[in-house]
Amino acid sequence: MNNVFNIPVRVYYEDTDAEGIVYYANYLKFAERARTEFLRALNLTPETTKNDERCGFVARHVEVDYKKSAFLDDLLTVTCQIKEVKNSSVTIVQEILKENEILTSLEITLVYININRHRPTKIPDTMRLKLV
């Protein structure tokens, strides 16, 4: 696996339930933000990957392990690391940490699809080189 990318995420009121505990689905949102910034850091934004075919990554499979809760106003670190790149998919492992303690771990497989045809398509070589 290659280097770990990370971003800070602050927990706001909108992220929590009435007890000030982060609502479980919001961990997926934190992970999505980190993946978006990770791809941006690799210069793989929708603008830079545009071509004649409408293609993009969609989530195919997600595994989440909730270990501990985050709370209102916590400062979290969300990491991304590529685990595997295949012909038309990429698997990314992520962790959500508070002060180096893992709160949540995720593994997500993204599939590169042709949006017009709703079918997986080969990840272009120029993109693949940035992912490996």
Q: For residues 10 and 22, is the Cβ–Cβ distance under 8 A?
A: no
Q: For residues 5 and 77, is the Cβ–Cβ distance under 8 A?
A: no
Which are the catalytic amino acids?
A: 17
Residues 6+ apart with CB under 8 A from 50: none
Q: How many CB atoms lie within 10 A of CB 7?
A: 17
Q: For residues 96 and 3, what is the distance between their CA atoms, to the nearest angstrom?
A: 16
Write phi, then psi, for 117 (nearest 5 degrees): -100, -10
Name the pairing type of β-strands 89-98 and 55-66.
unpaired
